[in-house]
Amino acid sequence: MRIHIIACRVFTRELCFYASRSPHIVDITWLPQGLHDTPVQLQKMISDSLDQLYIQMEKKMVKHKPDVIVLGYGLCSNGIVGITSRDIPIVVPRTDDCIALFLGSQKRYLELFKDCGGTYWLNNGWIETAFIPSREMLNSRYEEYIELYGEENAEFLAEQDQCWIRNYNACGYISSPAYHCPEYPELARRVADENGWNYREFEGDNRMLRMMVSGLWNDEEFCICPPFHRIEATCDDKKIRAVPCE
Amino acid sequence: MGILEEISSLMQQGRAPKVKELVQQAIDEGVSPKEILEKGLLGAMSIIGDKFKKNEIFVPEVLIAARAMNAGVSILKPYLVEAGVESKGTAVIGTVKGDLHDIGKNLVKMMLEGKGLNVIDLGVDVPAEDFVKAAQENNADIICCSALLTTTMGEMKNVVAAAAAAGIRDKVKIMVGGAPITQSFCDSIGADCYSPDAASAADAALALCS
């Protein structure tokens, strides 16, 4: 089977690792990390990637048509809602976001979300691709604010950034069974200290990321969107459903 | 450039201290406070709102403009009260239970205040019952709920239900917003109004109060 994945760069290490070992032929289109902040933009970039894939197939630049397209996203601020399949089915994990995928299941994520409210999650992928609230990155953002908006406004904007940081109370570092870099949990611990948060480590579980490339998609954890269907949010435990295009 | 155009231009640049200074100067020159508010400050905010919708500017630019607007409004307020301009309505605002992200909520609050609404800020992680209690205590026209996460947006449904259970559903409008929120979600939970950004939220809130 040929699987084409359109995924957030936050999964680079894990998906590359499991793709290389998959019995299937896996190709991946990467999109920038952080698009969940602008869900309209995320939806557009996934749609554009699908357009590009079909253009490449039409022009025979892609020699083999994929059997299935997998989205390497959860709901991600509803950025995947409205994505429409054409003649190739699209598979999407039924999770709120990447944290559930790094923890191994939506169920575990929700349990931790309930028990560890106010936890800011970090892992290898986030540390390597995202803005993280370390003193170093906050300082560099502050310098950028000064340059763009002047010193007086920079202080106000930095204060706005501090608002949400103050609302959190812990940093949860999720380890990865695919890759270990000792500096990363150290960095996560430093971020916790700098922001006055508690620090906790959680063992990561890549089962859903492995399933993405394995072709073993159960209906409970993955939504299989048949050809010519549109992805919708269900606003319940199922998270998403596929509805026929009119 | 007339003084109102100058106030508008400085407000759009987010220059709060300068806006304050010029608003005072305009008052001293005899410009009516209502005109300063509508043509100078709110006019500038509409331009900022439009630019944001078109992706020409981003959240920091809107934040500093909203702050500059509020700096101007703080000078105008006593004069507006003196001129008999009353509060346009009362809104209680907060992020829903479990959600700790308040930049958007703070921005909407500033916008609502700029439009002349009295805003009761309940902060973050607000249980549904607390929204309702605050609405009752303050005789609010609107409850504004914000959520940034798909894990917490479902709480908005509880706010609608709590308002109905308390028997105030016909007295208070419920507005919802935040990155994952859509019009269809708003409709599905029986809320009254969804706004995709802070400037539209302020316009919608004003319309709900009138």
CATH second-level architecture of B3-82? Answer: Orthogonal Bundle (1.10)
* Full 3-state SS string of A163-227: HHHHHCCEEEEECCCCCCCCHHHHHHHHHHHHCCCEEEEECCCCHHHHHHHHCCCCCCCEEEECC
- With tokens 């959600």, the residue in question is B99
Domain carrying residue A161: 106-202
Nearest to A149 among B64, B148, B189 (CB): B64
Window 11-40 of A, Cβ < 8 Å to B: 36-39
Residues A223 and A191 in one domain: no
Q: Which residue of A has its CA nearest to B61?
A: A149
Across the strands, what pairs with A201?
A173
Would you say residue B138 has pLDDT above 90?
Answer: yes
Q: Are residues A183 and A218 both part of a single domain?
A: no
Residues in chain A with CB shorter than 8 Å from the CB of B148 are 77
Q: Chain A contacts of B179, Cβ < 8 Å?
A: 36-39, 77-78
Beta-strand pair A25-31/A170-174: unpaired
Nearest-CA distance A153 → chain B (Å): 7
Report the gap between the CA of A49 and the closest CA in chain B (Å).
Answer: 21
> B3-82 with B90-209: one CATH topology?
no
Tell me how crowded residue A76 is: count the other CB atoms within 10 A of its CB.
24
A97 vs B: CB within 8 A: yes
B103 touches chain A (CB under 8 A): yes
Whether A150 and A210 share a structural domain? no
pLDDT tens track for B62-105: 999 999 999 999 999 899 888 877 788 999 999 999 999 999 99
Angle in degrees, CA A143, A168, B179, rounded to 5: 75
pLDDT in tens, A4-18: 999 999 999 999 999
Is the CB of A78 less than 8 angstroms away from the CB of B150? Answer: yes
CA distance A225 to A83: 10
pLDDT band per the 50, 70, 90 thresholds, residue B53? confident
Q: What is the pLDDT of residue B1?
A: 75
- CA-CA distance, A66 to A26, in Å (whole number)? 9
- C-alpha A207/C-alpha A113 separation (Å) is 19
Per-residue pLDDT tens over the stretch A65-95: 999 999 999 999 999 999 999 999 999 999 9
**Is B151 close to A113, i.e. CB distance below 8 A?**
yes
Half-sphere exposure in the Cβ direction for A143 (13 Å, CA)? 6
Q: What is the pLDDT of residues A113-169, one digit of tens each?
A: 989 889 999 999 999 999 999 999 999 999 999 999 999 999 999 999 998 899 999
CB pair distance less than 8 Å for B180 and A117: no
Question: Using CB atoms and an 8 Å cut-off, which of residues 132-191 of chain B contact chain A?
Answer: 148-151, 153-154, 179-180, 182, 185, 188-189
A116 & A185 share domain: yes
Average pLDDT over residues B27-40: 93
Asked if B103's CB is within 8 angstroms of A164's CB, the reply is: yes
Task: Report chain A residues whose CB lies below 8 A from the CB of B15.
Answer: 150
Interface mutation target, options B64, B125, B181, chain A, most CBs of A under 10 Å: B64
Contacts of A163 in chain B (CB under 8 A): 102-103, 106
**pLDDT (tens digit, 9 = 90+) per residue, B4-28?**
999 999 999 999 999 999 999 999 9
* Cross-strand pairs, A223: A92
Chain B positions touching A153 (Cβ under 8 A) are 14, 16, 64, 67
Which whole number is the average pLDDT over A204-217? 96
Number of Cβ pairs < 8 A linking chain A and chain B: 74
pLDDT at position B82:
82
Number of domains in chain A: 2
pLDDT at position A117 is: 86
Residues of B with Cβ-Cβ distance to A239 under 8 angstroms: 150
CATH of B90-209, one of 3.40.50.620, 3.40.50.280, 3.40.50.1820, 3.10.20.30: 3.40.50.280
Same domain, yes or no, for A162 and A126?
Answer: yes
* Domain match, A49 and A97 both: yes
In chain A, where does DSSP find H-type helix? 12-21, 39-58, 98-103, 106-115, 124-129, 135-167, 183-194, 207-214
All structural domains of chain B with their residue ranges: 3-82, 90-209
Considering only CB atoms, B100 lies closest to which of A76, A148, A168, namely A168
Minimum-distance CB partner of A160 among B63, B149, B189: B63
**Any idea which residue has 């009353």 for tokens?**
B86
Task: Tell me the shortest Cα–Cα distance from B108 to chain A, in angstroms.
Answer: 13
User: Which residues are A3's β-sheet partners?
Assistant: A26, A68
Instruction: Please name the amino acid found at residue B142.
Output: I
Distance CA(A187)–CA(A177), nearest Å, equals 18
